[in-house]
Amino acid sequence: MKYLKTITLELNSQKCIGCRMCLEVCPHQVFGFENKKAFIKNKDQCMECGACDKNCPVHAISAGKGVGCAAAVINGMLRKTEPSCDCGNGNGGCCG
Ligand code: SF4
Ligand code: SF4
């Protein structure tokens, strides 16, 4: 299952020490592992839960929690408003 566009997930491979924690905590198998380092394999499956960001011991990952399209859609449903992450700028994104 793929999720809406992820805007915050970044991995700095130069900082990565290969502990594999991100692979363990990610609920959607977003990360792969090769040459003793993690890499982003399936960015589109990220739901921006923030678990990898929180658990990486060297802060090599940045993944905003509660931001991006998924959060915008959920917040829109809760507030009964349109999603407002501005990903599409009217050109076909989830909020376009
Ligand atoms: S948790 Fe951080 S240090 Fe560990 S493998 Fe993932 S990116 Fe690398
Ligand atoms: S934010 Fe959550 S879903 Fe996205 S890569 Fe990190 S652990 Fe996986």
pLDDT 10s digits, 12-22 = 999 999 999 99
> How many residues in total does the chain contain?
96
**Could you give all domains of the chain from N- to C-terminal order, each with its CATH number?**
10-79 (3.30.70.20)
* Whole-number Cα distances in Å, 18 to 6, 8, 40, 46, 57: 23, 21, 13, 20, 10
pLDDT digit string (tens) for 78-92?
Answer: 777 776 655 555 455
| Nearest-atom index, ligand 2, CA of 65 | 1
pTM of the model: 0.71
CB within 8 Å of 60: residues ≥ 6 apart: 11, 12, 13, 15, 16, 17, 38
Q: Which of 8, 12, 28, 33 to mutate to test the pocket of ligand 2 (most atoms within 8 A of CB)?
A: 28
Ligand 2 pocket residue status of 3, Cβ below 6 Å: no
**CA-closest residue to ligand 2 atom 3:** 46
Whole-number Å distance between alpha carbons of 37 and 95: 34
